[in-house]
Amino acid sequence: MSDETLKVGDTIEVTTEGIAYGGDAVARHEGAVIFIPYAAADERLVIQITEQKKNFFRGSIIRVLEPSDARRDPPCEYFGRCGGCQLQHLDYAAQLSAKEGFIRDALERIGRIEWQPQIKVQPSPELGYRTRARLTLEKVAQVGDASNQASISIGFNEARSKSICDVSFCPVLSDGLNKALSDLREKLGGTWPFTGRAHEIEAAAGDSGYAIQPPIPGLSSGKLNCNVGDATYVFEPSIFFQSNRELLRDLVEAVIADQKGGLAIDLYSGVGLFSIALARRFERVVAVESESSAVKAAIENIAINRIENVRVIKASVEEWVKNFVRRLKERTAEAPGLIVLDPPRKGASAAIKDVARMKSAKIVYVSCDPTTLARDLRTLVDCGYVLDDIGAFDLFPQTYHVETVVKLSRAAEQGSHSPSRREKVNGTKTGRTGA
Ligand SMILES: C[S@@+](CC[C@H](N)C(=O)[O-])C[C@H]1O[C@@H](n2cnc3c(N)ncnc32)[C@H](O)[C@@H]1O
């Protein structure tokens, strides 16, 4: 059967190759690429084609003929229906290996960067790790005549659907967040106090208890505390804060490592997670963040930790770095020793060329999306940076998400890796080990 004749509803036998970013296994059938959710690599499957797109198909498993050794029973009863997790059917070693593959694949395909050394993905406790979540509440049916009496679903979006998967216990959530889930259910009873059919709640757990926002009377909605190493952070559920407490200390240590010097710049600084650690090793730190609530929390965190050498600037990174480059040219600013950038999922494409023009000796790029990371790294490499190290943290076990930390230095700064010595890989100029 050729891909022209393959169509929705067909049942075929395939052997899967690897796992693609997003969590689906990939199989090929006479030239057609098929993505298959909840499959492992190297499995023989009977699948049914469920969807046809311009360049690929999607299929669902009808029967597993030859299962992978990595296949296991998922630890959650909602797996397959709830859209929160994609990889519970794989043992943890296979999940980590898939994540190294996501990074490597994005670097090669999107960044045209070949990275030979291993990319170690630091493991996390597999379950009970998650300390932040967006819960969706949905009024599914009205009960009786009273307009505010309802049957209510509380949980997460179902996979590839707008419906809500009603979850009474989620094994990836921390105990604190599972308590938030059950308290929410108990507090509402069968009463629907919101307008509309659906309502979203941000829930987060700190060192002592949880909070939700927007507030619901009787449930905590205040500030939370979290200690990481010797620093204390205050945050609120509606402000970005990393959602896996277990690896936070190691993540901060990996980003800062033994770097020290004059000026460090923390772009997309949030509540100051990296700024506070940087302040202990650099003479001056500038933190740039656009969200007012995060800026306010960062200022509070700096005061709580008795730090005096961090300046928090409320600005869009794009505008601030452009301005910095202008000041650098006018010699009213000095080149930083280190830039840490930790953008949201969409990456930093609008700012990345100016980040390179800031002439920082070192850059550490922290990313939660290998595809946008690879695109931005390509720009940094084209602007004269070389990759020194790539590491990753499994901040989100059971899902396809992975946090990557990439360390770069300016080629001119590197004795043994000056631009003139860069190798050509895949027809493009790249840095160390072909990167
Ligand atoms: C992935 S979070 C990282 C926060 C912090 N580094 C941490 O680890 O806690 C990204 C942060 O960038 C901020 N942000 C998003 N777009 C921005 C922009 N264009 N300019 C400045 N900050 C931005 C968000 O508000 C968020 O706090």
Q: How far is the CA of 212 from the centre of ligand 1 (A)?
A: 21
Q: How far is the CA of 91 from the centre of ligand 1 (A)?
A: 32
pLDDT for 422:
37
Q: Is residue 344 in contact with ligand 1, taking CB distance under 6 Å?
A: yes
* Residue that is last in its domain, among 23, 47, 71: 71
In CATH, what number is assigned to the domain containing residue 63?
A: 2.40.50.140
Tell me the DSSP string of 17-48: EEE-TTS-EEEEETTEEEEETT--TT-EEEEE
Q: Is residue 316 in contact with ligand 1, taking CB distance under 6 Å?
A: yes
Looking at the structure, tell me whether residues 411 and 294 fall in a common domain: yes
Looking at the structure, tell me whether residues 153 and 54 fall in a common domain: no
Looking at the structure, tell me whether residues 314 and 421 fall in a common domain: yes
Looking at the structure, tell me whether residues 286 and 351 fall in a common domain: yes
Beta-sheet pairing, 261-267 with 282-289: parallel
Looking at the structure, tell me whether residues 287 and 347 fall in a common domain: yes
* Lookup: tokens for 213: 């926002």
Substitution candidate for ligand 1 out of 224, 268, 278 with most atoms within 8 A of CB: 268
Looking at the structure, tell me whether residues 213 and 307 fall in a common domain: no
Query: Considering the domain boundaries, does residue 239 fall inside one?
Result: no
CA–CA dist 121, 100 (Å, integer)? 7
Atom of ligand 1 nearest to the CA of 239: 27
Query: Considering the domain boundaries, does residue 380 fall inside one?
Result: yes
CA–CA dist 90, 173 (Å, integer)? 19
Query: Considering the domain boundaries, does residue 292 fall inside one?
Result: yes
Looking at the structure, tell me whether residues 284 and 430 fall in a common domain: yes
- Tell the residue nearest (CA) to atom 27 of ligand 1: 270
Beta-sheet pairing, 57-66 with 121-122: unpaired
Per-residue pLDDT of the chain (435 residues; tens, 9 = 90+): 445 689 999 999 999 999 999 999 999 999 999 999 999 999 999 999 999 999 999 999 999 999 999 999 999 999 999 999 999 999 999 999 999 999 999 999 999 999 999 999 999 999 999 999 999 999 987 766 666 677 899 999 999 888 899 999 999 999 999 999 999 999 998 889 999 999 999 999 999 899 999 999 999 999 999 999 999 999 999 999 999 999 999 999 999 999 999 999 999 999 999 999 999 999 999 999 999 999 999 999 999 999 999 999 999 999 999 999 999 999 999 999 999 999 999 999 999 999 999 999 999 999 999 999 999 999 999 999 999 999 999 999 999 999 999 999 998 655 433 333 333 333 333 333 332
Q: Is residue 349 in contact with ligand 1, taking CB distance under 6 Å?
A: no
Looking at the structure, tell me whether residues 142 and 264 fall in a common domain: no
Looking at the structure, tell me whether residues 264 and 357 fall in a common domain: yes
Of the candidates 342, 340, 352, the residue with the CA atom closest to the CA atom of residue 281: 340
Residue type, 57: F
Q: Is residue 221 in contact with ligand 1, taking CB distance under 6 Å?
A: no
Range of the domain at 37: 1-71
Query: Considering the domain boundaries, does residue 371 fall inside one?
Result: yes
- Tell the residue nearest (CA) to atom 6 of ligand 1: 269
Q: Is residue 270 in contact with ligand 1, taking CB distance under 6 Å?
A: yes
In CATH, what number is assigned to the domain containing residue 350?
A: 3.40.50.150
* Residue that is last in its domain, among 30, 46, 71: 71
**Residues noted as catalytic:** 368
Looking at the structure, tell me whether residues 377 and 428 fall in a common domain: yes
- Among positive and negative, which fits the CA dihedral 374, 401, 408, 101? negative
Beta-sheet pairing, 362-367 with 57-66: unpaired
pLDDT for 415:
42
* Residue that is last in its domain, among 178, 194, 224: 224
Substitution candidate for ligand 1 out of 238, 240, 322, 403 with most atoms within 8 A of CB: 240
Residue type, 191: T
Q: Is residue 43 in contact with ligand 1, taking CB distance under 6 Å?
A: no
Contact between 282 and 261 (Cβ < 8 Å): yes
Query: Considering the domain boundaries, does residue 48 fall inside one?
Result: yes
Reported pTM? 0.93
Q: How many residues make up the chain in this entry? A: 435
pLDDT for 105:
97
Q: Which residue has the tokens 């208890």?
A: 209
Q: Using N-to-C axis directions, what is the helix angle for 92-109 and 370-382, rounded to 10°?
A: 40
Query: Considering the domain boundaries, does residue 352 fall inside one?
Result: yes
Looking at the structure, tell me whether residues 300 and 396 fall in a common domain: yes
pLDDT for 162:
84
How many domains are contained in the chain? 3
Burial zone of 157 (CB within 10 Å; 0-12 exposed, 13-18 middle, 19+ buried): middle
Looking at the structure, tell me whether residues 11 and 53 fall in a common domain: yes
CA–CA dist 274, 284 (Å, integer)? 13
Atom of ligand 1 nearest to the CA of 368: 1
Query: Considering the domain boundaries, does residue 218 fall inside one?
Result: yes
Query: Considering the domain boundaries, does residue 125 fall inside one?
Result: no
Q: Is residue 293 in contact with ligand 1, taking CB distance under 6 Å?
A: no
pLDDT for 429:
34
